[in-house]
Amino acid sequence: MSGPLEGIRVVELQGRGPGPFGGMVLSDLGADVVTVARPETVHAPVGESDHERSLKGHRRFDLVTRGRRSVAIDLKHPEGLEVALRLVDEADVLVEAYRPGVAERLGIGPEVCMERNPSLVYARITGWGQDGPYAAMPGHDINYVALSGALHALARPGTAPAPPLNLLGDYGGGGMILVIGILAALIERTRSGRGQVVDAAMIDGVALLTTQLRGMRAEGLWSDVPGTNVLDLGAPFYNVYETADGRHLTIACGEPKFYANLLRAIGAEDDLLSQQGNPRTWPAAKERLATIFKTKTLAQWCSILENVDTCFAPVLTLDEAPTHPHNVTRRTFVEIDGIVQPGAAPRFSRTPASPGRVPRSGEHTTETLLAAGFPAEEISRLRRAGAIVQAEEEADSGAMAR
């Protein structure tokens, strides 16, 4: 059985960050995703650093590229461009992560592609969007998170605002929003029969994720002073506490019944509960809970709180998370080609999603073009002309990435 997107064909123009992540999600869900890789990514130059290799796509550990077929095409070569366009002709979706105007200059912009394939969903993911004063500027996750207002909300007392890695801009506000846009356009296409352009911008996506904070701000429930709000470690009942062994656990008991159960389990006085809604009491309450949680190790607290109807979880390392009994039971993490990684999400009752392996750049050039109807003689000629590149030493001749 394949995932719910079985039969959907996606061409992904190789990019970084949100584009590959969005392609990974689509592939996990069953779509047939073909990445158009740059020829220079097929063979790493001698002496190239790991960082340089990673920037060009040379890494078997680049897990967000899993599940694809990889076709190396030189889009700047006239014949290479035509090869890519012929693949787009038969696609349902094209994913493009270039800066505004680059795809048009290459000759693979939405006007060209959708004239050839009117039902195509042309999905564009950028940082700043296709228009606006910043549209042509370069940027990365932290920049978009900053301009959306979200980074300021992540500040803590006495320190500069720290982003949650690149999870908020690249993936939450970028790749996930990109996938939502693609799926919405595919659903609309079933009614109209027509494709459309999806303009997914990380600045917009991160701003969307702050909707609740905007409401709290309007209601007077969110202050610009770091560490004084419910969600920014200002509240004693929604916080991270150190344990006796230097580890940490999280508490998230916004509901009085869960907070009451927690206080009872840890031996705290009930007067803490009666003051839960009074922010003036929060600093003293946090100190009191911090003192209590330092009296036992993380394992001891887990043993106690796992049997209590309250909201808590231990802070696990990246290595510990896959071995936690809950994650093991749900198979939240899987191992593919010897690499532990997150499994597909969400879950489906009839058409289960599943992740594939990471392809080598240009691994599937020949087989993909053969499957697309290119004659073997034409493929050989295109290779000689430098329009396409086939990676050598196939790990499994004819094998697909899935």
90 has pLDDT over 90: yes
Place of tokens 């998230």: 252
Regarding the domain delimited by 9-209+334-389, which CATH topology (the fold level of the hierarchy) does it fall under? Rossmann fold (3.40.50)
Distance between CA atoms of residues 306 and 309, nearest Å? 8
The answer on pLDDT for 196 being more than 70 is yes
Please determine, looking at this structure, whether the domain spanning 238-242+248-314 carries the CATH number 1.10.645.10. Answer: no
List of residues 6+ apart from 259 with CB closer than 8 A? 237, 253, 272, 273, 276, 310
How deeply is 86 buried, as exposed, middle or buried, from its count of CB atoms within 10 A (0-12, 13-18, 19+)? middle
Nearest CA among 77, 186, 24 for reference residue 85: 77
3-state helix, strand, coil in the chain (%, to 5): 40, 15, 45
Paired tokens of 23: 């392609």
pLDDT at 44: 55
* pLDDT confidence band for 402 (50 / 70 / 90): very low
Q: Where in the sequence numbering do the catalytic residues fall?
A: 140, 170
CA dihedral 174, 180, 182, 185 (to 10 degrees): -140
Cα R_g (the chain), whole angstroms: 25
Instruction: For 316-325, write each residue's pLDDT tens digit.
Output: 999 999 999 9
Asked whether the predicted pLDDT for residue 49 surpasses 60, the reply is no
Could you give the angle at the alpha carbon of 311 between the alpha carbons of 310 and 317, nearest 5°?
135
What does the mean pLDDT of the chain come to?
Answer: 92
Phi, psi angles (nearest 5°) of residue 217: -65, -45
Q: How many CA atoms lie within 13 A of 195 on its CB side?
A: 23
pLDDT in tens, 156-190: 998 999 999 999 999 999 999 999 999 999 999 99
Write down the number of H helices and E strands in the chain: 17, 12
pTM of the model: 0.91
Whole-Å CA distances, 315 to 243, 249, 250, 310, 321: 11, 5, 7, 16, 9
Q: What is the pLDDT of residues 244-275, one digit of tens each?
A: 999 999 999 999 999 999 999 999 977 787 88
**pLDDT at 30 (0 to 100):** 97
CA angle 278, 282, 285 (to 5 degrees): 120
C-alpha distances in angstroms, 306 versus 260, 285, 289, 294, 317? Answer: 15, 23, 18, 18, 19
Domain boundaries, the chain: 9-209+334-389, 238-242+248-314
Confidence class of residue 48 from pLDDT cuts 50, 70 and 90?
low
% of the chain at pLDDT higher than 90: 89
Exposed, middle or buried by CB within 10 Å (0-12, 13-18, 19+), for 373? exposed
Dist CA 344 CA 29 (whole Å)? 7
Distance CA 100, CA 128 (A): 9
Of the candidates 128, 103, 97, the residue with the CA atom closest to the CA atom of residue 35:
97
